[in-house]
């Protein structure tokens, strides 16, 4: 049986499965089955029930679960499939298990672009709740081996499709009527939409979230002897996010190099300065959390 069919069978049986998306690997379960979603929390060892992102195959499926204003529909049409998550009013008859939204009356939805996740959505015909496929408090996984590092033995299957393309979790934006609120900066840069009359709210999530197991120092020009230096642009370092100082390449490499630094013999990690424009804002957000 093909991997995706096996994964779909496991999901219909109420299990959770690790699957790549274009951003990071997700740990997916049937969003209409509360026990299945509870297994996500159990596998990740999450301390509390944060609301999860629900993945759907298309806009029509999203409309069955949530109420989309004209603004929300415009964003969806522009950026889906892709790394944009919309937080929207939940429809009472959606069938989504209460544990997915942690009891909120809103829901986070996105239409992913990765073929493995899209095939899985098609094969099981259910909306899939999926946070990043890593133990709580550890670095997000951009390769199957990162998933195995913290979840091996705790989940029945990992679909391995190599490194993810984007490497950073989706941008999250709340849409209340025609008002936008940025909840998590990410690969989709919404500064134009937000500038057009909407309020930006700093992400109010867990302070320390993407934590490597070692202290991390930011804006490091040079490293101390006991530091693994993650560089940016032409410089001497242990590993470089992007020698040509390209922010897209840096985003895709970020979690991979944090994993690498974590596994290195050096007890501390340092990261070179990274410009804050464009994707740089999302990279800074993740690094600040890793250092917290
Ligand atoms: O790229 C991604 O978004 C990855 C891949 C696997 O798709 N998924 C991901 O999911 O990062 P997760 O569950 O780790 O991210 C959930 C974030 C949390 O920070 C949560 O606070 C926010 O989404 N969120 C979910 N539902 C929400 C809601 N109803 N209101 C506000 N924030 C919400
Ligand atoms: Mg995560």
pLDDT digits (tens, 9 = 90+) for 191-239: 878 876 555 554 444 444 556 779 999 999 889 999 999 999 999 999 9
Q: Ligand 1 pocket, 23 CB below 6 A?
A: yes
Query: Is the pLDDT assigned to residue 186 strictly greater than 80?
Result: yes
Q: Ligand 1 pocket, 205 CB below 6 A?
A: yes
pLDDT bin (cut points 50, 70, 90) of residue 59 is very high
Q: Report, in angstroms and rounded to the nearest whole number, the Rg of the chain calculated over CA atoms.
A: 19
- Residue 134 to residues 72, 137, 242, 243: CA-CA distances in angstroms? 30, 8, 25, 28
pLDDT bin (cut points 50, 70, 90) of residue 48 is low
Is residue 190 within 8 A of residue 180, CB to CB? The reply is yes
Whole-angstrom distance, CA of residue 148 vs CA of residue 141 = 9
- Residue 260 to residues 77, 167, 214, 219: CA-CA distances in angstroms? 37, 14, 12, 19
Ligand 2 centroid–CA 131 distance in Å is 6
Q: Ligand 1 pocket, 101 CB below 6 A?
A: yes
Count of other CB atoms within 10 angstroms of residue 208? 11
Query: Is the pLDDT assigned to residue 245 strictly greater than 90?
Result: yes
Ligand closest to Cα of 169 equals 1
Say how many Å lie between the first and final Cα of the chain, rounded: 44
Q: Ligand 1 pocket, 203 CB below 6 A?
A: no
pLDDT digits (tens, 9 = 90+) for 142-175: 999 999 999 999 999 999 999 999 999 999 999 9
pTM: 0.86
Whole-angstrom distance, CA of residue 271 vs CA of residue 218 = 5
pLDDT digits (tens, 9 = 90+) for 88-115: 999 989 999 988 887 788 999 999 999 9
Ligand 1 centroid–CA 1 distance in Å is 31
């Amino acid at each position: 049986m093909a991997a995706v069919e096996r994964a779909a069978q496991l999901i219909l049986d109420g299990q959770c499965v690790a699957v790549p998306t274009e951003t990071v690997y997700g740990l997916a379960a049937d969003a209409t089955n509360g026990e299945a979603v509870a297994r996500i929390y159990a596998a990740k060892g999450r301390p509390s029930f944060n609301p999860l992102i629900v993945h759907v195959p298309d806009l029509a499926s999203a409309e069955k679960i949530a109420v989309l204003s004209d603004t929300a529909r415009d964003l969806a049409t522009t950026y889906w499939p892709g790394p944009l998550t919309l937080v929207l009013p939940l429809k009472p008859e959606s069938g989504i298990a209460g544990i997915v939204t942690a009891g909120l009356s809103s829901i986070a939805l996105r239409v992913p672009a990765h073929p493995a996740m899209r095939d899985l959505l098609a094969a099981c015909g259910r909306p899939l709740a999926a946070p990043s496929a890593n133990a709580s408090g550890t670095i997000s996984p951009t390769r199957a081996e990162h998933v195995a590092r913290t979840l091996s033995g705790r989940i029945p299957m990992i679909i391995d499709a190599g490194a993810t393309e984007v490497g950073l979790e989706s941008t999250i934006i709340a849409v209340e009527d025609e008002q936008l609120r940025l909840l998590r900066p990410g690969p989709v840069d919404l500064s134009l939409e937000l500038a057009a009359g909407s309020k930006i709210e700093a992400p109010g999530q867990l302070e320390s979230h993407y934590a490597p197991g070692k202290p991390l120092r930011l804006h490091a020009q040079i490293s101390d002897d006991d530091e693994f230096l993650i560089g940016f642009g032409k410089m001497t370092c242990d590993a470089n996010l992007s020698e040509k100082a390209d922010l897209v390449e840096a985003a895709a490499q970020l979690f991979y190099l944090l994993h690498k630094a974590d596994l290195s013999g050096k007890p501390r990690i340092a990261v070179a300065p990274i410009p804050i424009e464009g994707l740089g804002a999302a990279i800074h957000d993740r690094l600040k959390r890793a250092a917290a």
